[in-house]
Structure 1
């Protein structure tokens, strides 16, 4: 959980009881249906919706699930839109909560968060760390990164998996990610290249359906770069050796592609301790990132119980950037949720770091 928990309402990031939204699976005929089912059946239902080839079969399948005893606990969930059996559109899940849902209001919000100084040259970077809380809390930190960095056409976003759904290493299938500012296309070529080199990567949707940490990066990127394409990857816990392997696959694929690619690690820092403790722990982790020491980052977060949710994403990003020739890293901004809320008793830390 990240910054949404810092609001007065204290809504969990993914609370099915608080999410009253129609599920809109659209296959060929774009038929809209309202469905209720238990969270335990999510993987099975999603898989079936991706396999079916007509609106009639969707309705038939849903009717069977509604009558199942397994659905005694009722929740209302929102599922992705299926444009076809191969192309998938991932719908936004935190628009209206983490950032403005109205396109013009979102554009105005982003403009206020990214204040590039006239005459300041944007830096070409290989990788970065960006927070993924609500824009109210971490938007100014993320904005510092994006406003000072050159954004290439191709972007890999590595994120933690807060929900526990899906594969350990999950890459979203070919398709699109929707935001209020439009659709972002999945980079089919680079995704296929990376997957071909790593046997544990799965192209699936479960890990991405309710995971917010990639989604919140996209409006920033859309605001700055028209037509960028995306490699979305969520990572559960990996050993350092597995991080090295994943990073090697990414760096080798980028070299083979022969284009500039930004590797973005989506991560908040320490969670839900007081300001002093959080600042101390955050700086321990930040120091390892600035030293380009991925193994040290894993060690210090484990030894000092630093709840950096994207530590695996950051570790993989650092190793990949080192393989691509990175020699420096810069802390652009650090803050906590307490700096916004005024409550320093239980905060979340955020940092914007560029690697080049």
Structure 2
């Protein structure tokens, strides 16, 4: 895998789904990992970088690639995350133990990127910016996202009864978006979100990846390897979160 998409809910909920993506990583070739996650607590229309030099996890310490962060900073397109934002953002944090475990003591550096509520134009701009890094076989991209958040507590309750029960309607909606991701169709995914407004919390990191893939002049394959829901909604009082994991395999960019 050259990139993966994986969820960031509590491990008892989405841990197995995330593992389906992580098991496809070939750690022997990786020296740098870009971790892109959505901002849940702080509104921004830009991407932000950590000001930390390392992250401590229950398994050990992960060093930050401060040189790569400074290179990105020099573009003028990135803000710095305040410490409390950095520590409070679970979309990045929940992936750290997986990363540490998968890398099995190998030397690597992490580039955490908090992705704000980007416009479609900004998604394309950031995607082009990351395209060269995506083409480097020593880099791995991890896109942190859950899929549909359905229920009154999420203020999202569409139900296409032609698909069957609520949980079946949710899956149909998710899989429509997943198919566009597999097709690496950034414009189609944006149109899908405009039409349906699916509560995919990492829609902007996904879009950045899709634009990076489009700007990388080689053939690449994206496929989803796992889809789950936290529970099966059958009544309008139920709620669920969907988890989908994907693997993106690339040849080296020219």
TM-score normalised over the length of structure 1 = 0.59
Is it true that 1:333 corresponds to 2:213 in the alignment? no
Structure 1's 268 and 326: CA in aligned 2 closer, same or farther, altered over 3 A?
farther
Aligned pairs for 1:37-186 within 5 A = 125-151=1-27, 152-164=30-42, 168-186=46-64
Change (3 A) 1:162 1:183: same
- The structure 1 segments of at least 4 consecutive aligned residues displaced by more than 4 Å after TM superposition are none
Tell me, yes or no, if structure 1 residue 310 matches structure 2 residue 190.
Answer: no
RMSD: 2.1
SS of structure 2 residue aligned to 1:315? helix
Structure number with greater CO (CA < 8 Å, separation at least 6) is 2
The 5 Å alignment of 1:181-260 reads 181-197=59-75, 199-205=76-82, 206-225=84-103, 226=105, 227-253=107-133, 260=138
TM-score, normalisation: structure 2 = 0.82
List alignment gaps of at least 5 residues for structure 1. 1-124
Larger Rg, first or second structure (1 or 2): 1
Counterpart in 2 of 1:105? none
Counterpart contact for 1:166–1:204, Cα < 8 Å: no
| 1:194 and 1:250 in contact (8 A); partners too | no
Structure 2, unpaired ranges of 5+: 152-165, 250-254
Identify the structure with the greater strand proportion.
2
What is the CA distance between 1:144 and its match in structure 2? 0.6
- The secondary structure found in structure 2 opposite 1:306 is coil
Instruction: Provide the C-alpha distance between the structure 2 equivalents of 1:133 and 1:351, rounded to a whole number of angstroms.
Output: 11
Q: Distance in 1 between matches of 2:220 and 2:132?
A: 18
- Work out the number of aligned pairs and report it: 226
Counterpart-to-counterpart distance in 2, 1:281 and 1:295: 17
Q: Deviations over 1:101-121 (max 9, x none)?
A: xxxxxxxxxxxxxxxxxxxxx
